[in-house]
Structure 1
């Protein structure tokens, strides 16, 4: 039933997109903001943007024919600017009840968070209870959501003044490296890049504290102040095309293995 429903959405969206003479682009460039986050978005030696999110955004621009204006911002700022209407889009966002008040969401990849823990503390922590009952200091990126169970744990740690906030993931990993924090949540395609970039190989281990939880959908996010529901559905149609014609798979395979690609596509 789930597959049939998805295929039905695909066919409806495909007819909507291809049946028109041209994609209904806004009358000004689409303002889309990235945030630096592992293999999702990073800058190379020439300071050019790369990563899964950049490739997805480039493909959306190509398929729609719309002009885009890209920027890179802190994650907390992005959510505020989407709510105010200053931004039109962002990428790899997690849907929450409060965010649905001002944005539309379309999934295009799925990931789950693992506990990334300093190796010298690893023998102490094997479960969520051991984490919560320890005195370890925890790091988070401001405005990040990690999933229902993990967010509840973070809130408990926050009440105990054991949480250190940072503006981005790289800063949080630097705190882990220097011992300012002992642990954090992160996804494989994120923590692998930062552990390598920051020469932290062997300094941290990753644990799955929620083995029964599925991968969490990450979405293309459209501001409701910029797009109507019908317009958001047209962008959703482009994303569905990218999934079912294999384009998303091709993008993911540029950065991760086939096994990890299957996980990213499990939304």
Structure 2
């Protein structure tokens, strides 16, 4: 009799507690990583901003905000842009962000789209006729092209860069600010990158005064809107990859990524360069 009474009591106690347990269930279903995630980064407009020991910008802000909710912590290290792909390919970078999707990177990681982005032809405004397409750029042998070493806007971009390099027309530099200086000085005539990267890099740059107002952005069909996001290294364990994927996808779906872009960039800079998914 006593056992029956205790069993009966336990049944109703469980029923009473069930709503609370169900309410707590999502907390335990959140993503969580087994260790600190290694994220080497380099300056890229306002998407990643390095100022002394301070690291900020769109993507560091998004990862920090997500880490407080999802139980994953991130350790940032500053490296030259050209080293990022090498670190990722060797498995020494757990996360490559920001990154455009490419077949080369697909071999080392899992791509998670976060935003739509677009690279364009960028020149200093002049009487020169606009560049209409990729072949037009290839045919104008007098135009020198400055590019950031390590940038990758997809397979078509890589093919275009390969041919321009074969023609001996390419200056490779370390970052967008250095490329902007080449345009300002007239050493280079053209660059190819997302307008938001260029604008973000020079908006507070004292060595390129007035350049932003002089720039001409020329979209071409060969560089269409495409996914921009992050690559998760295949060197990570399955559980950590799944946790990071869940964290990143939630950041895009909830508008966290787009809101961060709007905080860092004026609307005029984002137009034609970045848009939400």
TM-score, normalised to structure 2's length?
A: 0.78
Match of 1:216 in 2: 226
Deviation at 1:180, TM superposition (A): 2.1
Deviation at 1:99, TM superposition (A): 1.3
Aligned with 2:156 (options 149, 152, 162): 149
Q: Deviations over 1:149-195 (max 9, x none)?
A: 33332222111011111122222222222222110012122122234
Trace 1:70-219 onto structure 2 (pairs within 5 A). Answer: 70-120=76-126, 123-128=128-133, 129-134=135-140, 135-196=142-203, 197=205, 198-199=208-209, 200-210=211-221, 214-219=224-229
Tell me the matched-pair count: 246
Contact 2:195-2:273 within 8 A present in 1 as well: no
Q: Name the SS of the counterpart of 2:257 in structure 1.
A: helix
Structure having the higher Rg: 2
Trace 1:238-249 onto structure 2 (pairs within 5 A). Answer: 238-249=247-258
Partner Cα distance (1:75, 1:261) in 2: 25
Partner Cα distance (2:253, 2:156) in 1: 31
Unaligned runs of 5+ in 2: 1-24
Match of 2:235 in 1: 225
Cα RMSD between the aligned structures? 2.7
Contact 1:34-1:53 within 8 A present in 2 as well: no
Unaligned runs of 5+ in 1: 1-16
Instruction: Say if 2:63 is the partner of 1:57.
Output: yes
Q: Name the SS of the counterpart of 2:128 in structure 1.
A: helix
Partner Cα distance (1:39, 1:153) in 2: 26
Contact 2:120-2:223 within 8 A present in 1 as well: no
Deviation at 1:32, TM superposition (A): 0.6
TM-score, normalised to structure 1's length?
A: 0.80
Contact 1:31-1:87 within 8 A present in 2 as well: yes
Contact 2:33-2:240 within 8 A present in 1 as well: no
